[in-house]
Amino acid sequence: MIVLGIETSCDETGAAVVRSDGEVLSDVVQSQVKLHAPYGGVVPELASRDHLRNAQPVLVEAAARAGMELRDIDGIAVTCRPGLSGALLVGVQAARGLAWALQKPLVGVDHLVGHLLSPFLRFAKLESPAPPAYPFVALLASGGHTALYRVDAASVASIRELGATRDDAAGEAFDKVAKLLGLGYPGGPVVDRLAKEGNPEAIDLIWPMRRRGSLEFSFSGLKTDVMRWVEKNGRPGNDTTLRDLCAAFQRRVVDTLVGKAVTAATNEGAKTLVLAGGVAANRELRERALTAATAAGIRLVVPPFRACTDNAAMIAYAGAQRLERGERDVDIEISPNTALPRVTRKGRGERATGV
């Protein structure tokens, strides 16, 4: 089955053509990074307008790169949740119109499910790891989400949250710290580059939510600690101190993510740990996760860099799995929330038993 995927959940307008076995025939992404950079973050209204401008040319380009006409596809998959409501609406309406015009089946896809299934993608000119075997544990870390999941199959009903962040997502913390340090947007790649040249032990920052046995995360305290350090010592220039501060911050985020991910995989008896989401492109996270997973006898699977950030190929693949099961969506509801059941409560305090 050949499926067209459409992704407009945030600041990337994406379209891709993917086979149901994971082979990516085309993957087109129109980034809005330059559009939002002056504001230090994504502006929802600007994002929606840019999706409107780019949806048609991106769809046409995806079909052209796949060497086919849009009428040659077998079905359409579109991100319908979670994300910015206006941005999601653009993609869903485009998918509805196209499905009606071409008389093709249509399914909505949860953006997080797409990320969790991204290691099944195979790109022609990129080295892709062998796909994970079910069940596996996945760490999904991005600008808007940070959570651990047990994945037993390619469906919402077969994915269970093991622990998630109570406040900031890991990627959000990277961007906010980068903005605090005057490093621009998006901040993650810049912090990662500078951290490589710094000493993570040179500056004493708190360790985020290190409670033994907990699979929950919290990064707001660490972000605040960096802010207090800057208030006390001043914003560092382009010097050793800046690199040490980035290294100290990144080491605490990375080691927290890795430690809890390996613990989750061990607790679940999973032989494979998957890294997914934009933060999975972080150099140090990949390196330290590989070391820790190998020591625990667990196989680490990380998608190619282009499959970690938001893309339509993962949406097409996730949608193809639904279509092959005979599922169809007559109506698609958009939502800012994921369909995956959440067990981690937001904010402080003990989690209630059974919640």
Q: What is the pLDDT of residues 81-120, one digit of tens each?
A: 999 999 999 999 999 999 999 999 999 999 999 999 999 9
Q: Domain of 226? A: 136-302
Q: What is the CATH number of the domain that holds 20?
A: 3.30.420.40
Same domain, 166 and 236: yes
Instruction: Specify the pLDDT at position 212.
Output: 75
Res 74: pLDDT = 97
Where on the phi/psi map is residue 142: left (φ > 0), alpha (ψ -120 to 50), or beta? beta
Do 169 and 290 reside in the same domain of the chain?
yes
Average pLDDT in the 330-343 region? 93
Spatial distance between the Cα atoms of 355 and 353, rounded to a whole number of angstroms: 6
d(CA 114, CA 81): 11
Kindly state whether residue 352 falls inside one of the protein's structural domains.
Answer: no
Residue 354 pLDDT > 50: no
Rounded to a whole number of angstroms, the CA Rg of the chain reads 20
Side by side, which strands form the sheet with 12-19? 106-110, 75-81, 2-7, 12-19, 23-31, 122-123
Instruction: Note the pTM of the prediction, 2 decimals.
Output: 0.92
Residue 184: per-residue pLDDT: 87
Residue 210 lies in a domain: yes
pLDDT at residue 352, as a whole number: 43
**Shared-domain flag, residues 210 and 186:** yes
Residue 189 within any structural domain of the chain:
yes
The answer to whether residues 280 and 316 belong to one domain is no
Q: Are residues 117 and 178 in the same domain?
A: no
pLDDT beyond 70 at 214: yes
pLDDT tens track for 39-74: 888 899 999 999 999 999 999 999 999 999 999 999
Q: What is the pLDDT of residue 233?
A: 94
For 225-233, the CB contacts below 8 A with 24+ separation are: 226/177, 226/180, 226/181, 227/180, 229/203, 229/205, 230/180, 230/181
- In this structure, are 120 and 147 located in the same domain? no
Whether 39 and 118 map to the same domain: the answer is yes
Domain count for the chain: 2
Mark out the alpha helices in the chain (DSSP H runs): 33-36, 44-65, 85-102, 111-116, 170-180, 188-195, 220-233, 240-268, 283-295, 305-308, 313-324
Neighbours of 292 (CB within 10 A): 19
Q: What is the pLDDT of residues 11-42, one digit of tens each?
A: 999 999 999 999 999 999 999 988 998 888 88
For residues 141 and 148, what is the distance between their CA atoms, to the nearest angstrom?
Answer: 9
